[in-house]
Amino acid sequence: MSKQILILPGDGIGPEIMAEAVKVLELANDKYQLGFELSHDLIGGSAIDQHGVPLADETLARARAADAVLLGAVGGPKWDKLDRSIRPEKGLLKIRSELKLFANLRPAILYPQLAEASTLKPEVVSGLDILIVRELTGGIYFGAPRGIRTLDNGEREGYNTLPYSESEIRRIARAGFDMARLRSKKLCSVDKANVLEASQLWREVVEEVAKDYPDVELSHMYVDNAAMQLVKAPKQFDVIVTENMFGDILSDQASMLTGSIGMLPSASLDINNKGMYEPCHGSAPDIAGQGIANPLATILSVSMMLRYSFNLTAAADAIEKAVSLVLDQGLRTGDIWSAGNAKVGTQEMGDAVVAALRNL
Ligand code: NAD
């Protein structure tokens, strides 16, 4: 039976980078006879323009029916003045929570060919390979009550709530331990247990789950220290598990260790490993329409999709190999360019990956 992939390019550079990822996916589909059927739909600002909402009910239904979703990026200045309830980012939060995609995997890998692109010294980052497991459907981004209210003295006050239930903590902790087991068996749980009650419970529950994983070495770190350590000595980490907002910030920071957010894919999985796959970066309105965005994060998201949702290890490895070969050839988009390499655009980069994959 064919497997359904829903493609949601989104806004800004989303359609540009997605066009390249789809070329790679279609080639892999033919070459390895994967039996995928692709369909396209709208999300974010483009969906607002068409339907008045950032995620139409029909689109959500198609996402539910699909075996996996591949997403570009959403948002842009055109929609920034809209009411918060229908902004593009709401579509993204909604699809993540409706599909119950609670585990967000964000690898930060430094390709040896790009050691120069990092702002940190090569000896600090060379060989870096971190996986951040971020809780994605709970915490302060979803907690209620929330809002902006006017106090008795007439001053306005913004407020949010940071709730985490035991079951939410337990399932993301398990995802973290499972990933650690597949790698170097080291897990660092990041929290703010010295200040936040939600973090105190987080730490207690992670300790409980650890009893089922005696082969994994667990450590705890406060988020402020983790931010420091990621810059000072990032190679001390292997798998990091953390809550939604801390993971959002730390994974962007980790991405910069690798030179460019344009290189980093991500996976968001439900309890059955059904997933949505997307680059870590946003819609980059500053470079949209110029044909210069780096498509590799989206192409590597295709590889993660094959690996985590479909267990197609050989095809996933081949796409990663093709990306590495293209970097060996010295091809670089502007965000990862350094002297001595050839600067290429989005489409040329995609074509080069397709050619490398075809020849493997
Ligand atoms: P961004 O990630 O879009 O851009 C940050 C910087 O990185 C920009 O200078 C951009 O040019 C560069 N960049 C990002 N992706 C790149 C790529 N593939 N190749 C080359 N350079 C790249 O973050 P931002 O500027 O804070 O946000 C822009 C818009 O994207 C906002 O509307 C924001 O809400 C939205 N956003 C969406 C997502 C998502 O869809 N998952 C994530 C973050 C931000």
Asked if residues 223 and 171 have their Cβ atoms less than 8 Å apart, the reply is: no
Q: Whose CA is nearest to atom 16 of ligand 1?
A: 262
Report whether CATH 3.40.718.10 matches the domain 1-101+270-360: yes
How do residues 144-183 score in pLDDT, each as one tens digit? 999 999 999 999 999 999 999 999 999 999 999 999 998 8
What is the model's pLDDT at position 86? 86
What CA dihedral angle connects 318, 340, 289 and 12, to 10 degrees? Answer: 60
Contacts of 267 (CB under 8 A, 6+ apart): 104, 105, 275, 276, 277, 301, 304, 305, 308, 309
What is the model's pLDDT at position 273? 86
**42-51, 223-232, 250-259, 321-330: least confidently modelled range:** 250-259
Q: Tell me where in the chain the CATH 3.40.718.10 domain(s) lie.
A: 1-101+270-360, 103-267
Q: Which residue has better confidence, 190 or 307?
A: 190
Assess whether the C-beta atom of 11 lies below 6 angstroms from ligand 1: no
The domain made up of 103-267 has a fold known as Isopropylmalate Dehydrogenase (3.40.718)
How do residues 97-130 score in pLDDT, each as one tens digit? 899 999 999 999 998 888 877 889 988 998 899 9
User: What percent of the chain is predicted at pLDDT more than 70?
Assistant: 100
- Identified catalytic residue from 11, 23, 141, 308: 141
Nearest to 258 by CA among 274, 234, 276: 234
Assess whether the C-beta atom of 262 lies below 6 angstroms from ligand 1: yes
Average pLDDT over the chain, rounded to an integer: 95
SS (H, E, C) 273-296: CCEEEEECCCCCCCCCCCCCCCCH
pTM higher than 0.85, yes or no? Answer: yes
293 pLDDT exceeds 90?
Answer: yes
How do residues 45-88 score in pLDDT, each as one tens digit? 999 999 999 999 999 999 999 999 999 999 999 999 998 888 99
